Structure 1
Amino acid sequence: MLEIKNLYKKQNDNLINNINFKVEKGNLVSIESSSELSDVLIKLILDKEILGTGEIYIEDIKHSEYIKKNKKSIGVVFRDEGFYERLTVDEYMKYYSDIINSKVNYKDIMLKFSLLDIANKKIKTLNYSKRKMLAFAREILKEPKLLICQDPIFNMDKEGIRIILENIEELCSKGTAVLSISMSFKDTMLIGGKTYIIDENGLKENEDKKDDERSELNYKEEKDYLHRIQKIPAKLEERILLFDPIEIDYIESEAGISNLNIRGEKFPCMMTLTELENNLECFGFFRCHRSYIVNLQKVREVITWTRNSYSLTLDDKQKSSIPLSKGKLAELKDILKI
């Protein structure tokens, strides 16, 4: 449905660097991206920005040509939406339904998004979650072949998240191609589908979704203790996520809960810190403090503050600083050969 080939675009400090991906009919692709890159990518897809290099196709037609003739086939829910604030929810949905000559009963769509009970409220009185659901409801009136949504569940309440995820799933089941772009890694994982991360280095598929491509023979030739694949479980709402150790920046214990810190976000793990220490030691993790385990591959600096105070600076998204116990310093130096 949507295909992006070798797309390159530099705009101010924002760089879309030679990215390639497809969103097939009936499929969901979820991308983690900064807000700035998200804005640029959506503008490029909608032909509101000139391409640097590369090509964009929608239904095998160049996007600029497709949009001229099939604009109503594309639904877009932006991060920040503009509405006719003085209209009620019902008035707005009816008005939009009439404009696009929708074949769908707009009240049925309102029901799907729990908007009927606030049908007579003016839009200017709605909270963020309700406004986001109204934007989704409006775009679904189009029965879009392609839906692009920007931060679809960001800052939403639990009920709002459930409703939007259910409707995205239903759209895919009916053949709509859905592209979701979120600032939050956690949101990207929760939305699901085929997940990617985009930054100035390009686009890469989320490691948690990839199969281990190493052959059994090559795998056995690695260090003896690396004899099995280890996944670390974490809970996100009603889902259990399984992370590869290399994805974890560090782990911290808070109020008895072990939190996996991954790309600047926390995921509660069902294992204790001691269990995690035992399971992850062979993957290069180090118990640097009674409340912290760190992925040594992510350590950028060892900082001495005073004779008794040390910390580790990580090369992660947040440039995190975590404590290093004085008693662990000698052990760390031995491991790192320093």
Structure 2
Amino acid sequence: MSILKINNLEKHDGHALIFPPFSLEVSAHEAIAIHASTNVRLILLKILVGEMPASNGEWTINGKSYSESKKDYFEQVGMYFLDDGLYERLTVKDHFDFYKKLYHSKLPIEEGLRIIQLEVKRNSKISKLSVSEKRRVHFGRLLFQNPALLIFEEPDQNADLETKRVFVKMVRMLIEKGKGVFVLTGNMESALAITNKVYRLDEAGLHMLDILSEEESTEELHRDVQNLEEKQKEEEIIVQPVRFEKIPTKVNDKIVLFDPPEIDYIESHEGQSNIYIKGEMYPSVFTMTELEKRLHPYGFFRCHRSYIVNLQKVREVVTWTRNSFTLVLGDTKKSSIPLSKTKMAELKGMLGLK
């Protein structure tokens, strides 16, 4: 059963495209995370709460639309925003008592305190709590509201480890109870801690990331090797000019798979190869030499001992001195990648320049 339905939602800001039309559903017993920039995240949230119109498309929560009935719409959804405030003069217990009465909740206050691990702080004023503890009070408020869909903006940003654990356990509990959970974040680790259903939303649209556990990744690699061995027995493979394969990166205990064209560049630092995609860094499971070999068919170039660059992302080649060169990428940060003198000559040859 789908709780949130987004159909061909699109947003332009003047002549700038924020995100093209996309569709998405969040069902009961499901958590979905969208990984996006701050600007994209804020605009999408403003659309969902009615503060900003969409350029096109529609969305409903449990069949209720914002345009038809604001009251019915907001009865279905609970939202946590990063800049939400609290009643600082109230104690934690009084705060929950207020929301219990407001939403006619049947959840015992002691149970709410237990879920967010604030039993010992029940009589403390909100103003005396740490930033992380205040975050947990926000989570508790949503428990008493008990909506069908819960939307979170950066729920664990700058939070301590205990609060992150509380949030992950709370999400699992909500999913078991049939709720839908929708998280918007700019932190991939946060997204993966909550769910394997992670999407990226940007000017290129919405697409789901391929995510495997380490066990699944090992099994898939084993299957690929077996398939290749069987294929080699059937026919002699003479030339394989292009290889269609994903590049795995490791985030906590998850393996995130990226298509080669998504990658901007790769940097080696203290023996670790790090892959950069839209300003985000992901540790690679391969060495620079292995990555160079794997990515060469896709137009990647080892421009420096410590760097491999996607030539399709290069916008400028800057000459500083006779022996100093830099590649400037076309990403939002205008990333600068060093180009060694010997590689400059090789690059000119590839480009057909003298």
Query: Could you tell me the TM-score, scaled by structure 2's length?
Result: 0.82
Q: Distance in 2 between matches of 1:275 and 1:20?
A: 37
Give the structure 1 partner of residue 227 of structure 2.
none
| Aligned 1:73-112 pairs, distance under 5 A | 73-112=76-115
Q: Secondary structure at the match of 2:145?
A: coil
Residues 14 and 36 in structure 1, CA contact (< 8 A), matched pair in contact too: no
Residues 29 and 180 in structure 1, CA contact (< 8 A), matched pair in contact too: yes
Q: By how many angstroms is 1:84 displaced?
A: 0.5
Q: By how many angstroms is 1:281 displaced?
A: 2.2
Q: Distance in 1 between matches of 2:337 and 2:245?
A: 24
Deviation larger for 189-198 or 147-156: 189-198
Q: 1:118 to 1:245 in 2, by over 3 A?
A: farther
Q: By how many angstroms is 1:324 displaced?
A: 0.9
Residues 211 and 256 in structure 2, CA contact (< 8 A), matched pair in contact too: no
Q: Secondary structure at the match of 2:283?
A: strand
Q: Distance in 1 between matches of 2:175 and 2:159?
A: 21
Residues 209 and 257 in structure 2, CA contact (< 8 A), matched pair in contact too: no
Q: 1:65 to 1:88 in 2, by over 3 A?
A: same
Q: Secondary structure at the match of 1:90?
A: helix
Q: By how many angstroms is 1:173 displaced?
A: 2.6
Q: Secondary structure at the match of 2:274?
A: strand
Counterpart of 2:261 (choices 217, 228, 246) is: 246
Q: Secondary structure at the match of 2:123?
A: coil
Q: Distance in 1 between matches of 2:345 and 2:193?
A: 41
Residues 247 and 257 in structure 2, CA contact (< 8 A), matched pair in contact too: yes
Counterpart of 1:6 (choices 5, 8, 20) is: 8
Counterpart of 1:308 (choices 294, 318, 323) is: 323
Q: 1:317 to 1:207 in 2, by over 3 A?
A: farther
Q: Distance in 2 between matches of 1:60 and 1:282?
A: 48
Unaligned 5+ runs, structure 2: 213-238
Q: Distance in 2 between matches of 1:48 and 1:60?
A: 20
Which runs of at least 4 in structure 1 moved beyond 6 Å after TM superposition? none
| Aligned 1:1-338 pairs, distance under 5 A | 1-10=3-12, 15=18, 17-65=20-68, 67-69=70-72, 71-200=74-203, 203-208=205-210, 224-227=240-243, 229-338=244-353
Q: By how many angstroms is 1:62 displaced?
A: 2.5
Q: Distance in 2 between matches of 1:267 and 1:157?
A: 22
Q: 1:238 to 1:110 in 2, by over 3 A?
A: farther
Deviation larger for 301-310 or 90-99: 90-99
Sequence identity percentage: 39
Q: By how many angstroms is 1:292 displaced?
A: 1.3
Q: 1:14 to 1:26 in 2, by over 3 A?
A: same
Q: 1:247 to 1:161 in 2, by over 3 A?
A: farther
Q: By how many angstroms is 1:333 displaced?
A: 1.9
Residues 257 and 272 in structure 1, CA contact (< 8 A), matched pair in contact too: yes
Q: Which amino acid aligns with 2:206?
A: K
CA shift digits 1:74-114 (9 cap, x unpaired): 11010111101122222212222222121112322322222
Residues 309 and 325 in structure 1, CA contact (< 8 A), matched pair in contact too: yes
Q: 1:266 to 1:9 in 2, by over 3 A?
A: closer
CA shift digits 1:202-250 (9 cap, x unpaired): x32135369xxxxxxxxxxxx82324x4333332223232333232221
Deviation larger for 107-116 or 174-183: 107-116
Q: By how many angstroms is 1:43 displaced?
A: 3.0
Q: Distance in 1 between matches of 2:184 and 2:343?
A: 41
Q: Which amino acid aligns with 2:9?
A: L
Q: Distance in 1 between matches of 2:313 and 2:193?
A: 25
Q: By how many angstroms is 1:325 displaced?
A: 1.0
Q: By how many angstroms is 1:185 displaced?
A: 4.5
Q: Secondary structure at the match of 2:47?
A: helix
Q: Which has the larger radius of gyration?
A: 2
Q: Which amino acid aligns with 2:242?
A: L
CA RMSD after TM alignment: 3.0
Q: By how many angstroms is 1:169 displaced?
A: 2.7
